[in-house]
Amino acid sequence: MFVEGLVGLLPLVGIVLVFWFLVIRPTQRRQRQQVEMQSALGVGDEVMLTSGIYGSVVALEDDKVRVEVAPGTVLAVARGAIGATVPAETTDPSTTDPTDGDGGSLPSTHEER
């Protein structure tokens, strides 16, 4: 009788374990990585806010980060609003030549009417 009760609980225990490994553990790992990234921020780091705004860290406070999003425009945001750090670009997009290599311009992406 006792064994039948244990056998009846095995599927429930299995479901709980699968839920733990597939849902809870990855979520906890992502949260831990996010907190580590936010605590490792430094002045000059390029970041992306959770709203999608890109900028550069100019000052750090206990619970706030000041991010310059345009020359002379600084936003004070909560540390939790920092979604990711952005790796430095190897080329400056403003200096790239928008040609196809033969000296001519690339064709327009929309038709003229």
Same domain, 35 and 51: no
Mean of pLDDT values over 5-28:
88
Q: Does 47 map to a domain?
A: yes
**Average of per-residue pLDDT across 63-80:** 94
Q: Is there a domain that residue 2 lies in?
A: yes
The band of 97, judged by pLDDT with boundaries at 50, 70 and 90, is low
User: Which positions ≥6 away from 47 have C-beta within 8 Å?
Assistant: 41, 54, 55, 56, 57, 65, 67, 82, 83, 84, 85, 86
pTM: 0.59
The whole domain housing 19 covers: 1-40
Residues 52 and 84 in one domain: yes
How far is residue 55's CA from residue 86's CA, in Å, rounded to a whole number? 9
Domain at 59, CATH number: 2.30.30
Quick one: 31 and 51 in the same domain? no
Q: Is there a domain that residue 53 lies in?
A: yes
Q: How confident is the model at residue 106 (pLDDT cuts 50, 70, 90)?
A: low
Look at the chain and report how many structural domains it folds into. 2
pLDDT of the residue at 94: 56
- Per-residue pLDDT, averaged over 52-63, amounts to 93
- Would the pLDDT of 22 be above 80? yes
State residue 103's pLDDT score. 54
Residue 81's pLDDT is: 92
Let me know if residue 94 belongs to a domain: no
93 pLDDT exceeds 70?
no
